[in-house]
Each structure stands twice: as C-alpha cells, then as structure tokens.
Amino acid sequence: MNSSAVRSILADPRSVRPHYQPIVELDSGKVVGYEALARWPGHPSVDPGVVFSSAAECGVIDEVDWACRCAAMTGALDAGMSEDVSLFINIEPLSSRIVPAYAREIIGTAATRLNVVVELTERSLLADPAELLETVRRARKSDCLVALDDVGSHPDSLALLEFVAPDIIKLDYTLSQSDPSPQQAAVVLAVAAYVESSGARIVAEGIETDAHLRRATALGAAFGQGWMLGRPAPLPTPGDRQHSGAISARPILSVKSGAHARADTAVPSVPSDLLTTSSAQVGSKSLLLALTRQLEDHARHMPDPLTIQAAFQDSAWFTQSVADRYARLAAVNPFVAALGVGMDTEPAAGVRGAELHPDERFVGEWTITIVGSHYCAALIARDLGDDGADHDRRFEFLLTHDRLTVVAAARSIMRRVLPK
C-alpha cells in the first residue's frame, strides 16, 4: 500500500469521487438501489478500508466520513436520482455528531429528494454500542432506513442484531460464494429468524456467477449486489435510466419494515419503567438472587452469542463469586456488562462495567437481560426501599421472555455502557 497516497487523501478527504454499485431485485433484474463507494481518482489503487483505518488512527475519521457522505449525496443529486431507488451510504457510527457547515445544505436537500439508507458495517457494532444506538436513533429520526452490512463476517456481532433492528440485512459475500461453515450456518439461521419476525429484507453481496445467484436465492435474498449484476461506476444519467428501463417504479427498499417499527419502541429511562400493575409481582431479594442465578446458568449453556447485561445497584453485590460467573460468561459471549455504584470499568475479565451515581434512579434497579438470536429473557426489578435484613428486602419485579420487553430493557442498560 502506498502510504504517501493515503497521507495525501487524509490531507484532502474532500477529493473523494464516489462510484455507485447497483442493488438489483433478483427475480426481475431491476435496479432498486445504489451503494455509494468511496473512490479517489488521483489514487485509484488505494483500498478505501485502509483509508478509513488510517483516518481513525490519525484522528481524522470525522473529516473523511463526512466528506464521503456528502460526496455520495451530491453525486446522486447531480445525477438526478429520485426516491424511486434507494441510495445506500456507508457511515462510521463513531464519527462526530457535529455536522460540518458545508454539509448542512447538502443533507437538507438530500432529505427532500433522496431515499437514503444508512449502512452500518458489522465490524463497528461492538466498539461503542451506546453511540451505535444513538446513531441508529438519529438515522431513523431523519426517516432513513438502516442496513447492516457484511453480516456473516463477524458472527459475534449477531448478538446486537436486535438492538440495531436493521430494515435491510446485507449478507457477506462469502455466504453467496461458498457453502457456509458451521459458524456461518448459525448466522444464516439467526438471520432467517430475525427476518421472519421483523419483515426485514435480505441483500446478498458478492454475486458474480449463476451459482452465486442460486445460493443467494436459497439463503432467502430477494435482492443482490455483485459484478454479475453491475460493477461500481458513475451513476447513469436520467436519460440513460429512462431508456434502459433498469429502474424499478416501485420503491421496494423505501418501505419501512416491521424492524423499523420495533426499533422505534421507546427506550425506558430505567428498565423498571416497563413494569405495570398487572404484570409485576413482589418478591424478596433472596428470590431475585435465585432467579438471577438461574438465568445466568441458562445463558452459560446457550450455543448462540448473547448480550448479557445486569444492573446490581451497588458494586458491593458484585462479589468475587459473581465476578467469576460473569467472567465465564464473557469468555464465550461477545457482550457482557454490569452496572452499579462504584463499579469498575472492567469488574471481571472481559466484562464491561459502568459506574452509577448514588443519587440516580438506576440505583434502584435489579435487572438482568439476556438477548440472543433464538433466546431472550429478563428479570426486571425495582427496589421498594425496605429496611431490615438485606435478603428480605422486597422488590417489585417481572420475569419475562417477551422479546420487545427484553430488548427495551436491555437498550436502557446499554445506553450506559462505556466504549471499549
């Protein structure tokens, strides 16, 4: 890799000139969207992935990310792209929320004339999930759909599938081009379960041959992307589109799926805000400890990657035996977190900790959430403020396997977890 070329790009990220690769409806062959891909004409051999990783290392990821976003929208607007097709724009979830001055007018125009799909790369999910959730929330507030890219390349990231709740899942090219490994077969099953419950759409990447196309269809993909269907290139002009008949008149990828609706479910300030008079019971802390231990033991034997998050009120309750249990959970699951007053940033090996302020409402919570592709459960409890022996303290609580309730509680905790 030419390091001088990368340095040149980082010095002038707005020199980017995107190409656009079509996304095609497989049964009709019609183009329903374009993914904007960063290209630098002065340095055609530079790998964009290297540019972005170098930008992150050099502290200029914001500049590069916003330059690419704006170039993608400007190119689409200049080419006369309409809302009949979707414009997929890759974004870095961890880049700054501050919109550069030069980008504001472009974003405003694009919001009225383009059907934008925000595309998140799977590798970014676990770095800072709280910021990821905020990125997704802002995208949906701007009426954008959310796509999750490269699904299958990092199987552990599937544990966060429910938290992102993508409208569109883009399968990694390896799934289209070869039979799945056992790990990838687990990904296929998890994606199928999510799509069945949410109505999300599948786009298969890397379709280059008829065999790839058949495999993509077998995986449930109704849409595809790859050299067989179209290579990255400048966008066609309006006249070219009109005569080619390539554009679908149906905005297939602009219709919100059930995933969009479930992602819009309100996130409670604290998990116990989900308790209702009809659903809650009252029990002692000793009962809650037994139920919590049972959930932890069940999670330890689950084959799927899980997110496991718990609010312990105070780090004093995160004893050595508890720390040992959570370290074992963290050794086999991609995301395990614990909250409490005085909690360390890593209270056990592999466990993410978040410290609570003694005066905040979260201190009254005793909650554990477990979310996986095929299993979810939560114990959500609120301290009733009793005096007396600790194990006799009463809590109002709910034990639930309802996915929407569990994920809402888990999102409430996840918003407090610090970046890794």
HEC-encoded secondary structure of 278-330 = CCCEEEEHHHHHHHHHHHHHHHHCCCCCCEEEEEEEEHHHCCHHHHHHHHHHH
- Whole-angstrom Cα distance, residue 384 to residue 229? 61
SS3 of residue 380 by DSSP? strand
User: In the predicted model, is pLDDT for residue 409 greater than 50?
Assistant: yes
Least confident of 12-21, 81-90, 153-162, 276-285: 153-162
What phi and psi, each to the nearest 5 degrees, are found at residue 183? Answer: -65, -45
What is the DSSP pairing of strand 168-171 with strand 145-151?
parallel
What is the DSSP pairing of strand 201-204 with strand 307-314?
unpaired
pLDDT bin (cut points 50, 70, 90) of residue 256 is: low
SS3 of residue 177 by DSSP? helix
Q: What is the pTM of this model?
A: 0.86
Residue 402, CA distances (Å) to 137, 162, 180, 369, 405 in order: 22, 13, 31, 11, 5
User: In the predicted model, is pLDDT for residue 354 greater than 80?
Assistant: yes
Report the candidate in 70, 74, 8 with the shortest Cα–Cα distance to residue 40.
8
pLDDT bin (cut points 50, 70, 90) of residue 245 is: very low
- Whole-angstrom Cα distance, residue 114 to residue 108? 10
pLDDT tens digits, 32-52: 999 999 999 888 888 888 888
Task: Take residue 321 and report the two structure tokens written for it.
Answer: 């035996």
Question: How many CA atoms lie within 13 Å of 52's alpha carbon, on the beta-carbon side?
Answer: 20
Give me the pLDDT at residue 259, please: 60
Written as one string, the DSSP assignment of 81-144 is: --TTSEEEEE--TTS-SPPPHHHHHHHHHHHHH-EEEEEEEGGGTTT-HHHHHHHHHHHHHTT-
**39 in Cβ contact with 17 (< 8 Å):** yes
Sign of torsion, CA 62 68 71 72?
negative
pLDDT bin (cut points 50, 70, 90) of residue 253 is: low
Instruction: Name the E strands within 122-207.
Output: 145-151, 168-171, 201-204
pLDDT tens digits, 156-195: 778 888 899 999 999 999 999 998 888 888 889 999 999 9
Least confident of 98-107, 119-128, 204-213, 365-374: 119-128
Please name every residue paired with 309 in a beta bridge, in sequence order, or none if there are none.
337, 369
pLDDT tens digits, 81-111: 977 899 999 988 777 778 889 999 999 999 8
**99 in Cβ contact with 107 (< 8 Å):** yes
